Chain A
Amino acid sequence: MKFAVLAVVLIWTMPPAARAQASDPATQELIQKLLTRIDSLEKRVAELEKVSPTAKGPAPAAVVAAAPSPQPGGHTNHDQAPVPEPPAAETAQPVYPSLKIAGFSDLDFSATNLHGPNGGFGAQTLLDPHSGFEEGQFVLHLSSALSPKVTVFSELSLTARSDAGTGTPAAPGFSPEVERIILRYDVNDYFKLSVGRYHTPINYWNTAFHHGQWLQTTISRPEMTQFGGSFIPVHFLGALAEGAVPAGGLNFNYQVGLGNGRGQVLSRAGDFSDINNARAWLANVFIKPDALYGLQAGGSVYRDELSPLTGAPAREWIQSAHLIWQKETPEFLGEFANVTHNFFNGVTSHSQAFYLQTAYRLPWFNKQWKPYYRFEQIHVPNSDVLFRSLVPTFSGSTVGVRYDFTTFAAFKLEYRNYQRRGLPPINGIFSQTSFTF
């Protein structure tokens, strides 16, 4: 009762303005809602007091709120009726396996001044001598937890073929590919072990965007990490250990892998055994400091022995580094990679590639527009007889804009200018509609 008297005194000694606020319709409605809630809670307290006469009153405000004594679905004693389990709790427990599927696809248009072969660019760079629409990749991503610590990830793609219907037997219209299949056991955050076919974790783009073109800002990947390209080994078949440690706020991440390395065709992984009994290994580290949320910086090394179908065998060293600002106002991506080939005849060559990409999500028009620019360069010396016929030497600029017309679909339009060594420059207009479903 003392509280009641105090409340009345407080209310009547309130400034008139405050009383006026308390008596406006919104506040009155709030009061009514709260009173109703108090009534229902009081009923609930009374019910609980009936059930458990020894129960104490509500605990004072503390870190742990007072727990209801009966456990869902259990009996507290034989005289007590079972407490019905909350409906949500029935579906709360995870079910294994828990398959989830996501789809990605893109439809493209390209028009360039290219006449003849493109000189080593990957098919998905869209540098064709003919203009027109192109069906990009149709990608299915499947993930499934097999237990709290074991998870399977896979990525399947269907890619339109330019030679469809030709040859004997006739080539199919699409090439199916198991891009990734990974089985991972998570011991904890510090150590996870997996086996499978990966996108080789030796630079940022290759493991950040994969085949879902919708996820990346631009229409195509930088050429140094292009699918079907040879500069870095895009795929890797083997085993990987990875983890992350806080490291005083630096958030140090590591990946260490052992696998088959490149196949006889350098752009492909050795999917069916190792062609030369010399395993490839890699180490990749990066930090994501707490103090600079959005920053990622790191580097990696990769070691393999190459036995190409055509060309000289060599030992391969790859060193790479990246610096990323993952936010969109602005976005910044920068990577560099050096590929060293030690040929068995004693010749050593160093090929380098890098790209710098920036973008900015404009604050207007519901933040749907994002202009971007990328500069990239690949340099292959004459001494690198392996790469000279496979990797283009060029420097290129890409300027474009991305328009997210829904949360899950985007339209991109860009202009590119590529300056090639010993060949005419390429200028082109490209567009892409990419989406996830």
Chain B
Amino acid sequence: MRADAMRISRRAILWASIAPAALPLGAANSADVAIVVRPDVPVENLSFSELRRLMLGDRQFWSSNLKVTLLVRAPGAREREVVLKTIYQMSEAQFRQYWIAKVFRAEAASGPRIVYSNEMAAELAAAIPGAVAFVEAGQIPPGLKVLKINGLLPNQSGYPLH
């Protein structure tokens, strides 16, 4: 009986949340992309410039003993488009060429690892020490830490990744 009541209540909350989501303002907030890492990554907040250095492979260590592993969604995913547009400011072709050149210059051993779903991103982010992944803010997986960007969490006003 309690479970049924809870289920009804949750569905009501869903309906109540969907109604404003149909409006433009709500739609903008739900589109934010969160940056998730394992809780043992010794960082809580990154400036946008630091995030860019991280994604460009210019910063390769969280600390001396913890190397960064980049996880990026496969082409076609919205999270990838957001990352390329806002952080890299590159087209898909420029992004690929950038990483081929980066490895060719011996500045990185490999490019970002490709993940094909938010679930896969979450699994790998949880499994690989130092991994950083991008997931839709509404699908933040349990057990992972969400990094602040410029002191802001997803869905806060001014958050840059959307």
Contact = CB atoms under 8 A, between A and B. Distances in A.
B120 to A, nearest CB: 5
Contact of A38 (B14, B104, B110, B153): B14
Interface residues of A, number: 76
B44 A188 contact: no
B146 A8 contact: no
Given A8-B12, A35-B14, A215-B101, A251 B93 contact: no
Interface of chain A, helix or strand or loop or mixed? Answer: mixed
Nearest to B9: A3
A359 to B, nearest CB: 13
A153 to B, nearest CB: 4
Interface string A1-26: 10111111011001000110110000
Contacts of B124: 88-89, 92
A404 B110 CA distance: 24
B58 A404 contact: no
A92 B146 contact: no
Contacts of A379: none
Contact of B101 (A4, A65, A208): A208
A386 B51 CA distance: 49
B109 A144 contact: yes
B67 interface: yes
Nearest to B50: A246
Given A1-B5, A89-B124, A98-B109, A11 B15 contact: yes
B61 A67 contact: no
Given A153-B106, A187-B64, A3 B22 contact: no
Contacts of B15: 7, 10-11, 31
Contact of A407 (B64, B92, B106): B92
B128 interface: yes
Interface string B111-139: 00000000010011011100100000000
A436 B16 CA distance: 53
Contact of B103 (A100, A149, A180): A100
Contacts of A27: 18, 22
Contacts of A163: none
Interface string A167-208: 000000000000010101011110000000000000000011
Contacts, number: 169
Contacts of A102: 100, 103-104
Contacts of A38: 10-11, 14
A10 B19 contact: yes
A1 B7 contact: no
B73 interface: no
A246 B53 CA distance: 9
Contacts of A22: 18-19, 22
A249 B49 CA distance: 8
**Most chain A CB atoms below 10 A, which of B7, B15, B67:** B15
Those 4 A-B pairs whose CB atoms lie nearest each other, nearest first: A67-B143, A7-B12, A4-B12, A89-B127
Given A42-B10, A63-B146, A189-B59, 19 more contacts: A3-B9, A7-B12, A7-B13, A14-B19, A31-B15, A35-B11, A46-B3, A63-B145, A64-B39, A65-B140, A65-B145, A67-B39, A98-B110, A209-B101, A212-B101, A246-B53, A288-B58, A290-B53, A408-B96
22 contacts: A1-B8, A6-B16, A7-B12, A7-B13, A27-B18, A38-B11, A46-B3, A72-B127, A92-B123, A148-B67, A151-B106, A182-B106, A186-B67, A188-B63, A188-B64, A208-B105, A212-B101, A251-B53, A290-B49, A367-B91, A407-B92, A436-B100
Interface of A: 1, 3-8, 10-11, 14, 18-19, 21-22, 27, 30-31, 34-35, 38, 42, 46, 63-68, 72, 86-89, 92-94, 98, 100, 102, 104, 141, 143-145, 148-149, 151, 153, 155, 180, 182, 184, 186-189, 207-210, 212, 215, 244, 246, 249, 251, 288, 290, 293, 327-328, 367, 404, 407-408, 436
